[in-house]
Amino acid sequence: MNRLLQIFKVPELRNKVLTVAGLLVAYRVLAAIPIPGVDAAKLANYFSSNQLLGFLNFFSGGGLSTLSVVMLGVGPYITSTIVMQLLTIIFPRMKEMYYEEGARGQAKFNQYSRMLTVPFALVQAYGFLTLLISQNVIARPDPFDFLRNVLVIACGSMIALWLGELITEQKIGNGISLIILAGIISRLPSSIGLALASFTPALLPAYVGFVAVGIALIAGIVYLNEGERKIPIAYARRVRGNKMYGGSSSYLPLKVNQAGMIPLIFAISVLLFPQFAAQIVSVFSASWGLKVAALASAFVNNQLIYGIVYFMLVFLFTYFYTAITFNPEEIAKNLQRSGGFVPGIRPGENTEKFFGTIVNRITFFGAAFLGFIAILPIIVQRLTGIAVVTISGTAILIVVAVALETMRQIDSQLTVREYEGIE
């Protein structure tokens, strides 16, 4: 509580917090402004029966459910970032830029990601509008109005990205994550109201168990996000002129969950693709669309098979994404260049193999826990028998991870200012 009060005692930090709050409010206002031609009743019915759009609405910060001008949110930027990271596997120049050129290379890489966001936003806007028109959710506009809506939605996505970067510049949290967090929190009142409306005294033990599982899950996610394996690093002594450098020791922290929430996004996208494909096929052939939709519905409704496949996909994607983002070869090279080494391990190829083995071992636990988070709603519903109330492991993972990162950045700024004196 004392640390919280100190935030408002420091004018600069207080202004940053208020600026971030104002930017989030601005985004929520944009998320409430719909594009022209929206039938609210049809839209609500369609979203309640479509799991794919419900998931995408999650990452748009709640803007998709109202077909707002920021209906895509930061989704196109997340997509472009993932594609750019995948390109580092294919193109050596991209890999060199991302891993070897330092801050300058990272800045250039991020700039390319922003540029790639524009075509992704245009394509996604066109695809969503075409899909919703084919399902009679919105009226079919004339070509000019359709093009206008596509451009407005794409511009809204870029505005969302701009607001996210303005928030990030305040250095009290990641702007993209905070926008998603704001969307999650905005849905809490309606979720709580729905849970209270469906409450019955006979199910009180189930509700108590639900709360207990939620608390345990939060504790587990905190443990997962903060968990790391510390690899000791020693630096050889070097003599330059009359001075001696090095001879110190440190450690390299390897996080248990290197991939964050990305494996969950990959996995749910693969699982929901059959539904999306059915809707696309129905535009061209209603009969084939119904057949594909029936197969997709049968798969989703079989909770045992769905849960097993979901768990395995998250587990595999965790290893896959960790392999992309953590490069043992580059880590070993950088250590060798700086005169560092792992005690008892030869520099170079042996160090690379050592890091690869350690990362594979600790990733196993992170992948297993992420898989558990993914299927937790299915487990809770089967144990409690309550379909209205459920635990979204992905939502809790985002909330906890963003809260921890924001608290960490605020605490670091307070620590710096303590040296200047905070009364």
What does the pLDDT look like over 396-406, one tens digit per residue?
777 777 777 78
Answer yes or no: is 192 within a domain.
no
Answer yes or no: is 417 within a domain.
no
pLDDT, greater one: 35 or 53: 35
Q: Please determine, for residue 123, whether its predicted confidence score (pLDDT) is greater than 80.
A: yes
Answer yes or no: is 157 within a domain.
yes
Average pLDDT over residues 296-308: 75
Answer yes or no: is 163 within a domain.
yes
pLDDT in tens, 169-200: 888 878 888 887 877 777 776 666 666 666 66
164 and 202 assigned to the same domain: no
Contact 167, 175 (CB under 8 A): yes
Structural domain range at position 225: 198-391
pLDDT in tens, 146-175: 888 889 889 988 998 899 889 888 888 788
Domain total for the chain? Answer: 2
223 and 180 assigned to the same domain: no
172 and 205 assigned to the same domain: no
Length of the chain: 423
229 and 254 assigned to the same domain: yes
Three-state secondary-structure class, residue 244:
strand
Residue 38, amino acid: V
182 and 242 assigned to the same domain: no
pTM: 0.74
For the chain, percent of residues with pLDDT exceeding 90? 1
Cβ burial, residue 385 (10 Å; 0-12/13-18/19+): exposed
Residue 63 tokens, joined: 């803007």
Count of Cβ atoms closer than 10 Å to residue 318 Cβ: 27
Supply the CATH number for residue 202's domain: 1.10.3370.10
114 and 217 assigned to the same domain: no
- In the structure, what pLDDT confidence band is assigned to residue 392 with cuts at 50, 70 and 90? low
| Predicted local distance difference test score (pLDDT) of residue 194 | 65
- In the structure, what pLDDT confidence band is assigned to residue 422 with cuts at 50, 70 and 90? very low
CA dihedral 170, 176, 177, 179 (to 10 degrees): 90
Contacts of 106 (CB under 8 A, 6+ apart): 98
Three-state secondary-structure class, residue 345:
coil
Alpha-carbon distance of 137 to 45, in angstroms, equals 9
